[in-house]
Copies of this chain bind each other. A is one copy, B any other.
Amino acid sequence: MACARFITLKAIHDTSTLTHVLRPRIRSSVIIRAFSALMSPPSKAVFYENHGPPDSVTKIIELPPVEIKANDVCVKMLASPINPSDINRIEGVYPVRPPLPAVGGYEGVGEVHSIGSAVQGLSPGDLVMASPPSPGTWQTHVVKDKSFWHKFDRGTPVEYAATVTINPLTALRMMEDYMDLKSGDAIVQNGATSMVGQCVIQLAKLRGIHTINIIRDRSGSDEAKEKLKKLGADQVYTESQLDVKNVKSLLGNVPEPALGFNCVGGNAASLVLKFLRQGGTMVTYGGMAKKPVTVSTSSFIFKELSLKGFWLQKWLSSGKTEACREMLDYLLDLIREGKLKYDMELTPFSEFHTALDKALGKHGSQPKQVIKF
């Protein structure tokens, strides 16, 4: 192992505010340690000390090496996405956040760099993903207990492995958890060009489930429609196309959907509700328009609609690690077979803030931003 290092008292002192959060295994009581302790390389990290606008509160700094304890695995990160929840954590508006100061990111993959003395089943060079995902993936080297890492097949494109846990898994779970969907049934969703939206289309298609997809009005919407149809979408509408008296008259041979997914809010959520059949359920998993969901009394009483929410982090934290990994392997199989794909843009870590600006929507609609280390 090449990463054993001697940590000087000064180096610890300089980053003392970080130690309890970012390097829980370094404590003042053990700062004078044996030369032989196995240490990580220093780690370049997207770091923030206060909550606020992510483009102003984050900076890239070098964190000192940390000890790799007996059950730890040090991973050289390869790729990590910028998800909306990452942005909300930095803004301080996400209900579950790491204590400050913190390193950004939550999902990602890397290559095992070095392992603690008691680690079995993982070796340097193995590809692993953060599973369950956890805070601090936006850095070059992450040290965590072996239980946090899940090995995956080398034949998997790393940018897919880096992004499979949050969005594709959300799509998969939402299709399982609310209704016993059968081949021939239909789903309606807004935000259909999102990564979850693209996954819903493909996962539904694989099961013979129809999808009715709603996208924003924007330049290039015709291309977006074509793209979604190529993924397997049955129907794609812009919001303005649905400004009709009875949206269901558009359904043609597609049955009225029993399940709807909303990641937008406002009018786009109302459109999902309009498509739902008697007794249908709308699941909210995002609020891109930053507008609430508005529902008429009669939708509840006479149309018997149910409205619920989905929060992947809650699901992930409910001790379902093994079930989760099985589902991830299923999704990764689909990815390797070419049955599940979605748009991404890879950006070198050195240009992190460019990718962040895109993720923040400063340059209009952009594909999912993935940092390559």
Q: How far is the CA of A310 from the CA of B302 in the complex (A)?
A: 8
Q: How far is the CA of A285 from the CA of B299 in the complex (A)?
A: 11
Q: Determine how close the nearest CB of chain B comes to the CB of A297; give it in whole angstroms.
A: 3
Interface: A95 (CB within 8 A): yes
Q: Determine how close the nearest CB of chain B comes to the CB of A318; give it in whole angstroms.
A: 12
Q: Using CB atoms, name the residue of chain B closest to A85.
A: B301
Interface: A116 (CB within 8 A): no
Contact of A284 among B284, B286, B297 (CB under 8 A): B297
Stretch at the interface among A16-24, A156-164, A194-202, A287-295: A287-295
Q: How far is the CA of A146 from the CA of B95 in the complex (A)?
A: 59
Query: Are A297 and B293 in contact (CB-based, < 8 A)?
Result: yes
Question: Copy number in this complex?
Answer: 2
Interface: A309 (CB within 8 A): yes
Of residues 287 through 343 on chain A, the ones whose CB sits less than 8 Å from some CB of chain B are 287, 290, 292-311, 314
Query: Are A297 and B287 in contact (CB-based, < 8 A)?
Result: yes
Contact of A285 among B292, B293, B295, B301 (CB under 8 A): B301
Q: Determine how close the nearest CB of chain B comes to the CB of A281; give it in whole angstroms.
A: 9
Q: Determine how close the nearest CB of chain B comes to the CB of A7; give it in whole angstroms.
A: 39
Query: Are B295 and A295 in contact (CB-based, < 8 A)?
Result: yes
Query: Are A298 and B304 in contact (CB-based, < 8 A)?
Result: no
Chain B neighbourhood of A299, CB < 8 A: 309
Interface: A64 (CB within 8 A): no
User: Which of A285, A295, A300, A303 has most B Cβ within 10 Å?
Assistant: A300
Chain B neighbourhood of A284, CB < 8 A: 297, 300-301
Interface: A265 (CB within 8 A): yes
Query: Are B304 and A311 in contact (CB-based, < 8 A)?
Result: yes
Chain B neighbourhood of A300, CB < 8 A: 284, 293, 307-309
Query: Are A301 and B292 in contact (CB-based, < 8 A)?
Result: no
Q: Using CB atoms, name the residue of chain B closest to A311.
A: B301
Query: Are A308 and B306 in contact (CB-based, < 8 A)?
Result: yes
Contact of A287 among B298, B309, B310 (CB under 8 A): B298
Query: Are A301 and B294 in contact (CB-based, < 8 A)?
Result: no
Known: A292-B296, A294-B294, A295-B295. A309 touches B301 (CB 8 A): yes
Q: Please, could you name 22 A-B residue pairs with CB atoms under 8 Å apart, sorted by A?
A: A95-B298, A265-B297, A284-B297, A284-B300, A286-B297, A287-B297, A287-B298, A287-B301, A292-B296, A293-B295, A293-B296, A294-B295, A295-B307, A297-B309, A301-B309, A301-B310, A304-B314, A305-B309, A306-B306, A306-B307, A306-B309, A307-B307
Q: Which 3 A-B pairs have the closest CB atoms?
A: A287-B297, A300-B309, A284-B300
